[in-house]
């Protein structure tokens, strides 16, 4: 795929946003939770829009621990898929126009630290891929609400990467 001149930035940006939107809209559980993503270059921030159905303890009130765990796990898997897609896109091996539903990594294990109660308001999360091998990946993810440094939850998970795509050797 030789290019005569660099593509306009807007075209590249739109292609990336399309790939991301496709990735996110493909997962019903992500829609149930109401999770969206902000993208700046290859950096993703997940946003959990608060809604009453996300409450686990109505007396406090606080987010359900399962919501927190799900938010972190969704952030980790989508970030991991995005990292993989990004590499493929950058290498020109993947066309966002004709992208079929990407296979998502499978969670092997996931450990959540509940640091403080999740308040009934929007939450944010960012993941970091500590290792991405051909088969296994290790991802750390952190979530906060009002202050970036004041985490309300963090998690580490291990993932099995999808193997079906024909290896581009």
Partner 1 sequence: MSDADSARPDKAKIAAQFIGAIPFSQALGMELDEIGDGWARISMPWSEALVGEPRTGVIHGGAVSALMDTCGGAAVMAHPQGAVSTATIDLRIDYMRAATPGQRVTAEATCHHVTRHVAFVRAVARDEEAGTPVATATGAFTFQRAEGA
Residues in contact with partner 1 by CB under 8 A are: 26-33, 52-58, 64-67, 69-71, 73-74, 77, 101, 103-104, 106-114, 117
Nearest approach, Cβ of residue 95 and partner 1 (Å): 19
Nearest approach, Cβ of residue 169 and partner 1 (Å): 24
What lies within 8 Å, CB to CB, of 153 at 6+ separation is 68, 69, 72, 112, 113, 114, 115, 118, 142, 143
Nearest approach, Cβ of residue 155 and partner 1 (Å): 9
Nearest approach, Cβ of residue 130 and partner 1 (Å): 17
| Residue 76 to residue 138: CA distance in whole angstroms | 9
Q: Which is nearer to partner 1, 86 or 114 (CB)?
A: 114
Long-range contacts (CB closer than 8 Å, 24 or more residues apart) made by 89-96: 89/15, 89/16, 89/19, 91/168, 92/1, 93/168, 94/19, 96/15, 96/16, 96/18, 96/19, 96/22
Q: Which is nearer to partner 1, 45 or 107 (CB)?
A: 107
Q: Which is nearer to partner 1, 57 or 95 (CB)?
A: 57
| Residue 74 to residue 139: CA distance in whole angstroms | 12
Q: Which is nearer to partner 1, 13 or 53 (CB)?
A: 53
């Amino acid at each position: 795929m030789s290019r005569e001149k660099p593509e306009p930035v807007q075209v590249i940006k739109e292609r990336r946003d399309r790939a991301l939107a496709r990735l996110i809209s493909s997962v019903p559980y992500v829609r149930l939770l109401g999770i969206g993503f902000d993208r700046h270059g290859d950096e993703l921030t997940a946003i959990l829009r608060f809604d009453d159905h996300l409450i686990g303890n109505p007396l406090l009130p606080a987010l359900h621990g399962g919501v927190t765990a799900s938010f972190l796990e969704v952030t980790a898997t989508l970030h991991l898929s995005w990292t993989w897609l990004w590499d493929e896109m950058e290498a020109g091996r993947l066309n966002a126009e004709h992208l079929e539903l990407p296979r998502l990594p499978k969670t092997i294990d996931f450990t959540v630290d509940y640091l403080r109660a999740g308040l009934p308001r929007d939450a944010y999360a960012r993941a970091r891929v500590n290792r991405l091998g051909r088969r296994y990946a290790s991802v750390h993810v952190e979530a906060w609400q009002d202050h970036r440094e004041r985490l309300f939850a963090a998690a580490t998970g291990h993932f099995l990467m999808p193997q079906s795509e024909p290896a581009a050797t």
